[in-house]
Amino acid sequence: MKIFVTGGAGYIGSAATAHFLQAGHQVIVYDSLVKGHRAAVPADATFIEADLSDSAALGAAFAAHQPDAVAHFAAFIEAGESMRDPGAFFQNNVANSVNLLNTIMAHNVERIVLS
Ligand SMILES: NC(=O)c1ccc[n+]([C@@H]2O[C@H](COP(=O)([O-])OP(=O)(O)OC[C@H]3O[C@@H](n4cnc5c(N)ncnc54)[C@H](O)[C@@H]3O)[C@@H](O)[C@H]2O)c1
């Protein structure tokens, strides 16, 4: 299966990517590196450096790779920061996830895991 992993340069997403690869799947990692690290992305994964807010880049990535499934790990996670700047967290964790869901529907991907 071809799995599109958002946030695959982060803590959970990079570990999930490694497991997917080990299980024989192909993985496309989509991560802006706003928090993650390029070095955390396993070498066998395809890496796209782009943000979920960038609808054009997201659509182009889906069109190019035609994933069978999406595992969504891209988000902000720090509780303290979310209290100081809730708007940024709603924008990234809610609005950008809606952007991803719209892209998923536009490309008829029927399998999704939301972390
Ligand atoms: N860390 C945990 O113990 C844990 C446990 C359960 C669930 N989760 C969930 O898993 C998800 C990932 O958590 P994590 O601990 O791996 O965080 P993390 O910060 O290590 O990873 C998040 C990744 O998402 C990327 N990212 C963030 N916003 C992006 C955007 N707009 N476009 C593209 N990439 C973007 C970051 O660059 C980073 O690589 C979160 O939703 C979190 O709530 C985490």
Ligand 1 pocket member 11 (CB < 6 A)? yes
Range of the domain at 93: 2-114
Separation between Cα atoms, residue 80 and residue 36, nearest integer Å: 18
Q: What pTM was estimated for this model as a whole? A: 0.98
Q: What size, in residues, is the chain?
A: 115
pLDDT of residue 91: 98
Which CATH number characterizes residue 59's domain? 3.40.50.720
From the CB of 15, is ligand 1 less than 6 Å away? no
Quickly count helices (H) and strands (E) in the chain.
5, 5
Total count of domains within the chain = 1
Note whether 49 and 33 are within 8 A (CB): yes
Per-residue pLDDT of the chain (115 residues; tens, 9 = 90+): 999 999 999 999 999 999 999 999 999 999 999 999 999 999 999 999 999 999 999 999 999 999 999 999 999 999 999 999 999 999 999 999 999 999 999 999 999 999 9
Q: How far is the CA of 43 from the centre of ligand 1 (A)?
A: 19
Query: What's the DSSP call for residue 8?
Result: T
Structural contact between residues 58 and 106, judged by C-beta atoms closer than 8 angstroms: no
